[in-house]
Amino acid sequence: MSQDPASTPAAATASDGDDEQLPEDLIEQADRFRNAYSTVREQITHVMVGQDAIVDGVLTCLFAGGHALLEGMPGLGKTLLIRSLARALSLKFNRVQFTPDLMPADITGTTIVAESAEGHREFRFQKGPIFAQIVLADEINRATPKTQSALLEAMQERSVTVAGTTHPMPRPFFVMATQNPIEQEGTYPLPEAQLDRFFYKLLVGYATREQMHEILDRTTRAVEPGIEPVLDAQSILGYQKLVRQVLIAPHVQDYAIRCVLATHPEGDYATRLVKQYLRYGASPRAAQTLVLSGKVAALLAGRSHVSIDDLRAALLPALRHRVILNFEAQAEGFTPDMILEEIIDTLPVDEAA
């Protein structure tokens, strides 16, 4: 099965520093984080077959405080994954099925006229399904761009403004959107501004022959695997704060910056393929994503610092949706991953190298 090896944080290894351990006061917290990560992952794999890299990518988004976009053909388990994650966490979960006739107010909510207990009529905000801690935006690219954009404020600001009043979202707030390949009929490309709000874009591939056997064994027999809640909201918020305490050396952070600058066609670090096939490069959010995902990987490896390999492992899911191909690239069949892999292969670890 085609999987996304770049989205597996635990696979990253330190290649640019010593094996310094976490400070004494963080060792216990880091151990709890790794146990919590493994426990949630184990619960999900009770239902999910294969797709290990995708599961790791989604969990990285969750613990880094970002949102995940999953792309793949229908029937590959994208919806099952987020449902399984919601069941493994003691969080409020809502699902929104995106369709061409879905309106922004169907997502965010609207102001209605309601009657109070005293019999008076008053305007009252009726919250939409976006007001949950885990939101599944299913087949997001089947709705029109206007409706897709209704998620923008909620994803970035963690709030929704209706009729001049701002309503905060519950915490933690995690959006996982699924989309079908944009070449499919009846789909609308997501606006670039909304794509940039997603921490990772993960590509879901087909199952192998052996995995298909396991899927059928689990889904066509009388026994149905169960998932137990193993983590609550306060624990997740605590781990998100812990992730940000992981250190990153100046030269490693500079590597993350240069990775992003290398996607700018007119920039000093642009590679040959970038200059030829990219119209626009990644935004500063891409560098933030690289650093935060590297910190998650460092914690999972028991390190106090982010390594260059941590950043390389995150480059594809962090940047593939943040670069825009030109017409020549589309005509010749180039993908963002092909161009980003050249950056991984050619960008020097040290600028002086």
Domain boundaries, the chain: 5-346
> pLDDT digit string (tens) for 99-120?
888 888 888 888 777 777 777 7
Using alpha carbons, list the distances in angstroms from residue 210 to 43, 67, 171, 351. 21, 31, 39, 45
Residue ranges for the chain with pLDDT beneath 50: 1-3, 5-19, 353
- Tokens 């309503």: give the residue: 167
CATH number of the domain at 5-346, out of 3.20.20.140, 2.40.10.10, 3.40.50.300, 3.40.50.10310? 3.40.50.300
Q: What is the pLDDT at residue 213?
A: 79
Residues 6 or more apart from 14 whose CB is under 8 A from it? 301, 303, 305, 307, 309, 310
pLDDT of amino acid 353: 44
* DSSP β-ladder status, 68-71 and 174-179: parallel
Q: What is the pLDDT of residue 291?
A: 97
Q: Where are the beta strands (DSSP E) in the chain?
A: 68-71, 89-90, 93-97, 109-115, 121-127, 134-138, 159-162, 165-168, 174-179, 200-203, 231-232, 278-280, 324-325
The predicted pLDDT at position 274 comes to 92
Supply 90's token pair: 């003691």
Predicted confidence at residue 8, as pLDDT, reads 46
